[in-house]
Amino acid sequence: MAGGEGTRLRPLTVQRPKPMVPVVNQPILHHILLLLRRHQVLDVRATLYYLGDDIRSHFGDGTERGVRLSYSVEETPMGTAGSVKRCEEFVGQEPFIVISGDALTDIDLSAAVAFHRQRGALATIVLTRVQNPLEYGIVVTDDEGRIRRFLEKPSWGEVFSDTINSGIYVLEPEVLKSVEASRPVDFSQDVFPALLKRRAPIYGYVASGYWCDIGHIGAYRQAHEQVLQGLVDIELPGRRLANDVRIGRDVLIDPTAEVRGPVVIGDGCRIGPGARILGYTVLGANTLVEEQATIQRSIVWSNGYIGRGAHVSGAILAQQVTVDRGCMVGEGAVIGDRSVLRQGAQVAANVKLWPNKVVEAGARVTMSLIWGSSWQESLFKERGVSGLTNVEITPEFAVRLGAAFGTHLGKGATITTSRDDHPASRMILRSLIVGFLTVGAHVRDLRSMPVTIARRAIPALGCAGGVHVRVDTRDPACTLIEFLDHRGINVGRPVERRIESLFFREEFRRTPADEVGTLDFPARVLESYVDAFYAFVDPARIVRRRLKLVVDYAYGRLSTVLPSLLARLGLEVVALHPYPDPARAPRSREERARLLEELGRAVAMLGADAGALIDDDGERLYLVDEQGQGIQDERLLALVTMVALRGRSGGLIGVPVSAPSVIDQIARQHGAQVLRTKHEARALMHLAAAHRDNMVVAGDTRGGFVFPEFHLTQDAVVALGRVLLALAEGHRLSELVAQVPAFYVQQQAIECPWEQKGRVMRLLAREAVSAREAEYIDGIKMFYERGWVLALPDASEPVFHLIAEGKSPTDATELIGRYANRIRELQKKGA
C-alpha cells in the first residue's frame, strides 16, 4: 500500500509521496521491500496514487532490492480494500500479505503467516501494542486470538486495549470476493467488521517486533532515534567505525572535526575543519558541512549545505537545503526542499518552511510559512482548541483557523461569533473573523455575549455555525475557542478532523475582492433569549411566590445579563461576585467548593429560599438549600430530573454513563426511560438533539443541563428556572432534596502514566468477563450483585477516574477500593 500523501508530514511530503520519505537515507518503502525479501515474499505489487511516478522511477522492477515488483495505479483513491481488489489477478489463489509502505517495521512476517495457517484463519490482522492508541484502530481479541471487536480512532473512554491494527494483514483470496470494485472500500471500516458480523474466522496476531506509523513529524524524528539506538532490525547503510559512527562511500572528514555517535553519514559527504557532528544525527548523501559548523540531533537529507559557523539543533532539513554561514536553526524546525537561509538568518524553534523559501540575510523567522505552528498532531482538545494566549493561540494562528472553519462550512455560509470580556478574547475573535471573511463566509458578530445565549442565537439567526472565544476557566493563561454547528452544539469529531486537515494543508478558499464575506452586528439577540426564557418558565407563577434568592455569578459574563432577567420573576436577589473577571473565576473543584460554602453561609444568614452558583459562563449550575446545604454532582442531577418530570408521564432522560441508578428509579416512577451516553458535555447535547421530540431533560453530574424544549445546549439559567417553578408551588428546596431516594456513590482518581493507559484498559477489559455484566459506552462499566464500578481514563491527564455505586456505602467503598488497587497492580505488571 504505497499511495499515501502523508499530509501531517508536510512540508516533507509536499513534493514526494509518503513512502519515499527517507529513514536513515533510504525511503521507507525500501526498508519494507527488504523486510519482505528477508521473509521470502518475493512477488510484490505496490498500489500507487499520490505522485506514484516517483516510486516507479526510483524502484523500477525491484531487481536491486531482490524482489519482483509491479504496480497498480489508481486514478482516484479506492480505499485500502478497493486498492487490493484491483490486484485480484495478481493475488491468484494463494494466501497473500498486505503491508503498509509508509510504516517502519521489523515484524516477523513468517511468524504471522504461520499463525494464520495454524488457526485456519480467513483473515489475520497483525497487531502491535502502543502507548497511546488514540490515533489508531484498536482491536480486541480473546485468549485464542480471535477478534471480538474493532474501534476506529477511539476516545480514551473507548480504549479497551492497547493492541492496535498495524495495517499488516495475512488474507485468503476469498476475502476479496465480497469487496465491491466500483466504489472505495476500506479493510478496517468495511471488510473486517462485515467478516466479524458473520462470525468468519478472523484473528489477531500480536507481534513483538518494532512498528512505527510515521504519521507526523514527531514520529519521524522518533523513528530515527530508535533506529540509531539499535531498536529496529533494519539494514543500516555504510561501514561502522568507532564510537557508533557509520559512514558511506567517498566520505571526507577533516581530522580536526568532531564526530560523536550514534551518527550516520551518507555517501560523498564532506565534513570541514572544526565542524561538530553530534549524536543522533543523520546526514544525507553529498552533504557539505563547512568549518566550525555544528549539527546535533538533526536529520539532513541529501545535497544539503551547512555553512561556516552555522548551528543546527534538533531540526529536519529536507533535500538540497542551504543553511548559509552563521545561521541558526532551532529545535523542532522543519525546512522544506530547496529552501535557502542566507547569512546569519535564524529559524526559531518549531517553525516550518515549505519548499523553495528564501530567508533573507540576518532575518529571524518566528512563524511558519505556508504551514501551521506547533499543531502537527491535533488541534482539538476536549472542549475545543485551547492553548497559551499569544504563544500558541496567536492572531496569525487564529486567522488560519478561521479560514479552515469557513472553508469547511462553504462559500456564502453565515457564522455567528461571540466572546467573553477579556481583551485577549477580543483580539483572537477579530483574527478569526478575518479568516472567515477571506474565504467568503459572512459573519454576524454578537461581540461580548454569554456562551449560552450565543449558542441559542445560531439557529435563531439561521446560521450555519458559530464560534465562541473565552478565557479557558481551567487555565486563565489560555484561550479556548469553541466551534459550534448549526444547532449551537460543539461540532463532532469528524468535523474537527476536517478542520484540522484544512488547517494543516492550508487548503483555504481565497475569494476575489467582490466576494469577500460581510460583517454585521445583529440586534435583539439578548431580548430574543429573554422572551424565550419567560415563555418556557411561566414567570407569573414564580412572581406570586416572592422568593428570595442568593446568586453567585462566579465572576462570569452572565452577571451583566441575569439581574434584569431575574427581576421580572419577582425575586428578591442578593448577588455575590457580580462582575466578569476570568482570572478569578473558579478553575477547580476545590475553588468551586469554597464558593459554595460561602454561598451557603450567605443563604442561611439572609434567610433566603435558595442559593445558586452559576459557573462556566452560564453553562453549569450548583444549588444551596434554605439551610445552607450544598446540592451538586449526582444529587443535583437527581433533583433536576425529578423536578423536570413533575406532572409528566413518559419521555426520555439523558445522562452520562456515570450517572447513578437513582435516575432510573425516578424515571420509572414517572413512566420515563433513561438513555446513557459518554461522559462529556458534547455527547449529552448530541443525545438531546437525536431525541429532541421525546427528551424531557439531559443532565450530567457536573451541573450541566439541557432542556430540548428550550434549546439543545447546556443552560444553567433554564435549569434554575425549572427549580424556581417547583419552589413556587410551595415546596422548600430541602424538602425536594429529601424526596430523592438514597444512593451511594464513591469517586477516586488513580494516577496512571500515558504509556500504560492502553495496556491497563486492555487487561481490565479482559477481566470484565468475571462481572455479571459490562458496558463499553465510555470506559468500562462493570456490574456486580452489590453495585457497579466505572473505570474511565481521562482524556487530558495521566489519570483513571473510578466511579462506583453500591447498595450501601460499604459496598461502594469496597468496589472502588478493589479497582483502585487493581489499576495500581496492573501498572506494575509487564503483561
Please tell me whether residues 588 and 679 are part of one structural domain. Answer: yes
Looking up residue 441, the CATH number of its domain turns out to be 3.40.120.10
For 106-145, how does the pLDDT look when each residue is reduced to its tens digit (9 = 90+)? 999 999 999 999 999 999 999 888 777 666 667 888 888 8
Please tell me whether residues 710 and 595 are part of one structural domain. Answer: yes
Tell me the mean pLDDT in the region 194-218: 88
For residue 537, how many other CB atoms are within 10 A of its CB? 22
Q: Phi-psi category of 539—alpha, beta or left, where left has phi over 0 and alpha has psi -120 to 50?
A: alpha
What rounded mean pLDDT belongs to the chain? 89
**Given a cut of 60, is residue 159 above it in pLDDT?**
no
Domain boundary among 738, 763, 781: 738
**Given a cut of 90, is residue 160 above it in pLDDT?**
no
Name the nearest CA neighbour of 739 among 651, 671, 811, 641. 641
Tell me the mean pLDDT in the region 216-239: 90
Question: Could you tell me the residue range of the domain that residue 763 belongs to?
Answer: 744-828
**Given a cut of 70, is residue 484 above it in pLDDT?**
yes
Distance CA 24, CA 263 (A): 10
Distance CA 516, CA 689 (A): 33
Tell me the mean pLDDT in the region 573-594: 86
In this prediction, residue 376 has a pLDDT band, given cuts at 50, 70 and 90, of very low
Please tell me whether residues 160 and 91 are part of one structural domain. Answer: yes
**Given a cut of 80, is residue 372 above it in pLDDT?**
no
Name the nearest CA neighbour of 347 among 334, 332, 328. 328
Q: Is residue 255 part of a domain?
A: yes
Q: So what's the pLDDT on residue 377?
A: 43
* Percentage with pLDDT > 70 across the chain: 96
Decide if 36 contacts 168 (C-beta within 8 A): no
Q: So what's the pLDDT on residue 180?
A: 84
Question: What are the strands, taking DSSP E only, across 441-571?
Answer: 442-448, 465-471, 478-484, 519-520, 548-552
Number of domains present in the structure of the chain: 5
Give residue for cell 493561540: 393
Q: So what's the pLDDT on residue 6?
A: 76
Distance CA 416, CA 141 (A): 46
Decide if 469 contacts 422 (C-beta within 8 A): no
Q: So what's the pLDDT on residue 154?
A: 58
Let me know how long the chain is.
831
Task: Cell numbers for 230, please give them.
Answer: 539499535
Tell me the mean pLDDT in the region 562-571: 87
For 637-659, how does the pLDDT look when each residue is reduced to its tens digit (9 = 90+)? 999 999 999 888 899 999 999 99
Please tell me whether residues 612 and 542 are part of one structural domain. Answer: yes
Domain boundary among 717, 738, 759: 738
Q: Is residue 225 part of a domain?
A: no
Please tell me whether residues 679 and 824 are part of one structural domain. Answer: no
For the chain, how big is the Rg over CA atoms in Å? Answer: 30
Q: Among 61-70, 167-176, 433-442, which range has the highest average pLDDT?
A: 433-442
**Given a cut of 60, is residue 371 above it in pLDDT?**
no
In this prediction, residue 461 has a pLDDT band, given cuts at 50, 70 and 90, of very high
Q: So what's the pLDDT on residue 258?
A: 93
Please tell me whether residues 90 and 136 are part of one structural domain. Answer: yes
**Given a cut of 90, is residue 636 above it in pLDDT?**
yes
For 74-97, how does the pLDDT look when each residue is reduced to its tens digit (9 = 90+)? 888 888 888 898 888 888 888 999
Domain boundary among 681, 714, 738: 738
Please tell me whether residues 148 and 287 are part of one structural domain. Answer: no
Q: So what's the pLDDT on residue 155?
A: 62
Q: What DSSP letter does each residue of 368-405 carry, written as one string?
A: -BSS-SS-SS-SB-SSSEEEEBTTTB-HHHHHHHHHHH
Looking up residue 800, the CATH number of its domain turns out to be 3.30.310.50
Name the nearest CA neighbour of 393 among 490, 467, 443. 467
Q: Is residue 281 part of a domain?
A: yes
Please tell me whether residues 420 and 537 are part of one structural domain. Answer: no
Q: So what's the pLDDT on residue 797?
A: 75
Please tell me whether residues 624 and 755 are part of one structural domain. Answer: no
Looking up residue 25, the CATH number of its domain turns out to be 3.90.550.10
Q: Is residue 223 part of a domain?
A: no
In this prediction, residue 551 has a pLDDT band, given cuts at 50, 70 and 90, of very high
Distance CA 192, CA 138 (A): 13
Q: So what's the pLDDT on residue 158?
A: 57
Tell me the mean pLDDT in the region 242-251: 90
- Out of 696-700, 793-797, 814-818, pick the least confident: 793-797
